[in-house]
Amino acid sequence: MPRSSGITVAVTGATGELGRPFVRALEQSAEVRRVRAMARRPFDPGRLGWRKTDYTQGDILEGADVGRLMAGADVVAHLAFIVVKASARSYQINIEGSRNVFEAVAAARVPRLVYTSSLAAYGYHAHAGLLTEDTPTRGTERHAYSRQKADVERVLGEALAGSDTQAYVFRPCIVAGPEAPALLDAMPYLSAEHALPGWALRALRRVPGLRPVLPVHGVPFQLVHHDDVAAALLAGVLARGEPGVYNLAGPGEVHWSDVARELGWHAVPVPRQAVDVSASLLGRIPGLDVQAGWLEAMRVPMLMDCTRARRELGWQPAYDGLQTLRELVAAYARRP
């Protein structure tokens, strides 16, 4: 195995909300010599001041693209995944694309694989207490992203069976921060607001006392800052701890009332049963299966124990959940 002072890391999904903070962490690591990055969109790493990174536009569904990416790699980090718009139509990319990557890793005898799974792989069920890495990953059938994340972990186990590749699997909760606005992008009022022409948006914001209303219920959730996830992934790249599965979440719980407060919105309490009914009704309307799935994710507490990451990797998140939320909201407010 090559010395850790000069490793080459291949990264899929390098241009995404998590990909950019992760590659930035690789660029800043003295133990990483070279980064080979790939995603489907055009991208110039020099624009971000990256000097170690060679970028190739490619597709994880194309075996030749995947093979070229990982040629000579000491570590492969697989981040490519459709998240917010995950649906039955994203199965090919999320499952078969991941299978291509994992099988290529095994065939090339790459020493280490770092894969970003998700809290969603556990499934949005009624869990007793905090989720640990030993909790079974059952996914949720009505939530495409959850189901596909669970399926990919199964595919990973099949692809690496009998190989010598060490796998580090990370299950972050909702990733947020200035470079990861998906949590707010998915909120109907904000998505509609950013679709307005500039003049209309400015006029809307000048109306005194006009504040949106956010229905809130008592189900808490966790957030983790994208830089803290990147730090954990880097620890896996550098084999700081034992291979295996690691939960990632910032300290503390977040409530939707916190989101309303930070946005300056009105918070209106609603019973949890209202969320159940809404998810059930949306799920019956053709074309709204994705929205129904994400409502499904709000129905039960999904709180993780991250002791293993702290103990094994020495992972110390720099942001708690509320700090991450505030950074996200502040960055969102600066958007044109």
Q: What pLDDT sits at residue 194?
A: 52
- From the list 64, 3, 13, the residue with the least C-alpha distance to 38 is 13
Residue 316's SS3 state is coil
Q: What pLDDT sits at residue 142?
A: 76
Would you write out the chain's pLDDT as a tens digit for each of its 336 residues? 444 459 999 999 999 999 999 999 999 999 999 999 999 999 999 999 999 999 999 999 999 999 999 999 999 999 998 765 656 668 888 899 999 999 999 999 999 999 999 999 999 888 878 999 999 999 988 778 889 999 999 999 999 999 999 999 999 999 999 999 988 877 655 654 454 455 444 554 555 555 676 777 778 999 999 999 999 999 999 999 999 999 999 999 999 899 989 988 888 887 665 555 444 444 443 443 444 444 555 668 899 999 999 999 999 999 999 999 999 999 988 876
Instruction: Please tell me the total number of residues recorded for the chain in this structure.
Output: 336
Dist CA 60 CA 76 (whole Å): 13
Q: Do residues 255 and 336 lie in contact, with contact meaning Cβ atoms separated by under 8 Å?
A: no
Write phi, then psi, for 38 (nearest 5 degrees).
-145, 140
Dist CA 121 CA 205 (whole Å): 39
Dist CA 25 CA 28 (whole Å): 5
Residues sharing a CB contact under 8 Å with residue 165, sequence separation 6 or more, in sequence order: 105, 106, 109, 110, 111, 112, 113
3-state secondary structure 180-239: ECHHHHCCHHHHHHCCCCHHHHHHHHCCCCCCCEEEECCCCECEEEHHHHHHHHHHHHCC
Dist CA 238 CA 334 (whole Å): 35
Dist CA 15 CA 37 (whole Å): 9
b/e map of 252-286 (b: 16 or more CB within 10 Å)?
Answer: ebbbbbbbbbbbebebeeeeeeebeebbeebeeee
3-state secondary structure 5-38: HHEEEEEECCCCCCHHHHHHHHHHCCCEEEEEEE
- List pLDDT tens digits, range 290-317: 444 445 556 688 999 999 999 999 999 9
pTM score: 0.88
- List pLDDT tens digits, range 235-286: 999 999 999 999 999 999 999 899 989 988 888 887 665 555 444 444 443 4
What's the number of CA atoms in the CB half-sphere (13 Å) around residue 103? 13
Q: What pLDDT sits at residue 135?
A: 96
The single residue listed with the structure tokens 């299966």 is 289
Residue ranges of domains in the chain, CATH in brackets: 4-178+222-251+302-318 (3.40.50.720), 182-218+255-296 (no CATH)
User: How far lies 216's CA from each of 210, 222, 291, in Å?
Assistant: 19, 15, 17
Residues sharing a CB contact under 8 Å with residue 237, sequence separation 6 or more, in sequence order: 7, 9, 26, 29, 32, 75, 77, 112, 114
Dist CA 66 CA 55 (whole Å): 13
Q: Do residues 83 and 111 lie in contact, with contact meaning Cβ atoms separated by under 8 Å?
A: no
Write phi, then psi, for 107 (nearest 5 degrees).
-65, -35
Q: What pLDDT sits at residue 199?
A: 45
Q: Do residues 36 and 9 lie in contact, with contact meaning Cβ atoms separated by under 8 Å?
A: yes
Q: Do residues 117 and 95 lie in contact, with contact meaning Cβ atoms separated by under 8 Å?
A: no
